[in-house]
A and B are shown apart, each in its own frame.
Chain A
Amino acid sequence: MYLLKLIFRNAFRHKLRTALTILGIVIAVLAFGLLQTVVDAWYTGVNASSATRLITRNAISLIFPLPITYEDKIRHVPGVSTVSRSNWFGGIYIDKRNFFAQFATDAQPFFELYPEYHLAPDQMKAFVLDRKGCVVGRKLAQTYGWKLGDTIPLRGTIFPGNWEFVIRGIYEGAEAKTDESQFIFHWDYLNESIKKTSPRRANQVGIYLVGINDADRAAEISREIDAMFRNSLAETLTETEKAFALGFISMVEAIVAAIRIVSFVIIVIIMAVMANTMAMSARERTSEYATLKALGFGPVYVQTLIYGESLLIALSGGLLGIIATVPLVRGFGAVMVKLFPVFQFSPTTLAMQVGAVLVMGIVAAAVPAVRASRVRVAQGLRAIG
């Protein structure tokens, strides 16, 4: 109790110095939390991936399609439970800045493969019955103020023309990490329209989404699918959904790595500032530590005082920083919703912030604590604070 009192009073002895140090820690912890959340946001697709889903695409490149005839063949591979198709549409809603993902797919198998997309049965029925119908994520609908029955015009880029879709369903994510910003419509509608405008591009699929029964057989099934189409005009590359998502991240890997490094550099910088604060405080109190030792208090007591003070300052700033991270992430996520559909402050980031704060408190006190505990009493008593 007495020790805690002494630690607390020492920590707030130089109010301005302590306040500025705490402010620095708040900003550092806040920036660290935000940057880590940005990194997490890049990995949303990876984290949301399922081990029982495979993606089959053209082996040459994602931009080359696969024939629709592959679907049946894939479905008959042992271990495959469901097959769905998907084409990236890439349409523009009013303005280029209004970016969101649009996929042409087949309703029933798609929602079977993605049980984390919760769609009310009556909305599912309405979507299936309407050839021009579409289903949108809750966040996407919120962003543009869409509601059921609204007609959404999209200007095609990959598939030229003006397209109109009627919102028949709004899905909700099962978890916070589920992407609620997708726009899904019927592949048949797209294919029929292409048949009329550019028949050579019809009956082509961007990727096949393959559901399997046993995640442990993913590699084996992938090999089997790809072997089936070897030496064909469109060879396939099948991989897990996670590997597929990581492939996208690898394109911006350097940026993500840079963000991650910067977030840790911030912590190292504030750790140095904190160490400087503790070194100054300990040096000013050399005669006090010597007095305590003269009175019979051991080096461990002196070290505990310094470690305690350092941890108290670090935890004060860290706690405020963590508290401030929550609204900052929410606000940033709202502004950046088009770039980061899922922007969540994760428990992992929270744990990393707490860990960083603890390491900061301990490392900053290490050298001053050792020095103070080693100072000779007679020499320390002569020190001027």
Chain B
Amino acid sequence: MLAHEGPIVEIRGLSKAYQRGGQVVPVLTDINLDISAGDFIALMGPSGSGKSTLLNLIAGIDKPSGGSLRVGGLDIVALSETELADWRAGHVGFIFQFYNLLPVLTAFENVELPLLLTHLRARERREHVHAALSMVGLEDRISHYPSELSGGQQQRVAIARAIITDPTILVADEPTGDLDRVSAADVLGLLDQLNSELNKTIIMVTHDARAAEAAHRLVHLDKGVLLDGDGVGG
């Protein structure tokens, strides 16, 4: 966790636009948003509203066209690609709609992956992976490949991978979008547990109202604009 007072995520005047055939297409316009440490926030909005783009910018996998974006007090807009990659490795946990597990790696190996970028020894890595898989209830599936797991189980492996480095923020892009109701409820329960018990800051993109109910705060976007007015102050 970054030692920082104030909001963990601080967004000011953020904008993002794409060039398409000589035309500038705005995706996000003048976004102002603060997210406190330990918050569980749901970004909602229709398709094309810019919610995934905003999540990508917060996670440091995309660059804004303008404005400022601080995470844990660090201006991530100013970081180079290499610095951003290092920053992501230590501070961001990713949960994707389609899990994005590497199919040739077992559950254990997939969860271990982010730890390869740390200085931990093999024994320490093994202990961390067992703990993470135990937390998501899949310790008995460590040697299973993704194709041998259900969608819900795969997403739980992805969650274990996301939390293995104890990141500052967890970003989840439609984490229940590919799951049935029961599995979705399991995953949302797990996210809630991470937030309430481990005080993890979770930023989740969803257009599923049931999923959004798990969050403590809702932020609505439409056509690249925050509908709830200024998100500053939480």
Contact = CB atoms under 8 A, between A and B. Distances in A.
Contacts of B161: 295
Contact of A2 (B62, B88, B116): B116
B104 A296 contact: no
Contact of A296 (B96, B103, B109, B117): B117
Q: Determine the main DSSP class of A at the interface with B.
A: helix
B88 A296 contact: yes
Contact of A291 (B62, B89, B102, B109): B102
Nearest to B52: A378
Contact of B56 (A2, A5, A378): A378
Contact of A293 (B85, B96, B112, B114): B85
B82 interface: yes
Contact of B85 (A13, A296, A378): A296
A286 to B, nearest CB: 11
Contacts of A381: 61, 96, 100
A6 interface: yes
Contacts of B100: 287-288, 291, 381
B168 to A, nearest CB: 13
A302 to B, nearest CB: 11
Nearest to A385: B103
Nearest to A376: B62
B86 interface: yes
A295 B61 contact: no
B113 interface: yes
A13 B114 contact: no
Contact of B82 (A287, A288, A298): A298
Contacts of A295: 88-89, 94, 113-114, 117, 161
Contacts of B117: 295-297
Given A295-B113, A378-B56, A378-B62, A6 B85 contact: no
B59 interface: yes
Interface string B72-105: 0000000000100110111000101000101111
A294 interface: yes
Contacts of A52: none
Interface string A7-39: 001100100000000000000000000000000
A288 B102 contact: yes
Contact of A6 (B61, B96, B104): B104
Interface residues of A, number: 20
Nearest to A380: B61
A296 B61 contact: no
A377 B59 CA distance: 11
A377 B63 CA distance: 11
A326 to B, nearest CB: 34
Nearest to B104: A9
A9 B106 CA distance: 11
A312 to B, nearest CB: 13
A356 B94 CA distance: 42
Contact of A294 (B53, B94, B103, B105): B94
A329 B56 CA distance: 59
A9 B104 CA distance: 6
B114 A294 contact: no
A375 to B, nearest CB: 11
A376 to B, nearest CB: 7
Contacts of A378: 53, 56, 61-62
A102 to B, nearest CB: 65
Contacts of A376: 61-62
Interface string A276-302: 000000000001100111111110000
Given A377-B61, A378-B62, A381-B96, A6 B105 contact: yes
B228 to A, nearest CB: 24
Contacts of B109: 2, 5
A6, A288, A296, A297 pick with most chain B CB within 10 angstroms: A296
A291 B59 CA distance: 13
Contacts of B86: 296
A283 to B, nearest CB: 15
B167 to A, nearest CB: 10
Contacts of A291: 94, 96, 100, 102
3 tightest A-B CB contacts, nearest first: A296-B89, A9-B104, A377-B61
19 contacts: A2-B112, A6-B104, A6-B105, A9-B105, A288-B102, A291-B100, A291-B102, A292-B102, A294-B59, A295-B88, A295-B117, A296-B88, A296-B90, A296-B114, A296-B117, A377-B56, A377-B61, A378-B53, A378-B61
Given A292-B102, A378-B53, 16 more contacts: A2-B109, A6-B105, A10-B104, A288-B102, A291-B94, A291-B96, A294-B94, A295-B88, A295-B113, A295-B114, A296-B89, A297-B85, A376-B62, A377-B61, A378-B62, A381-B100
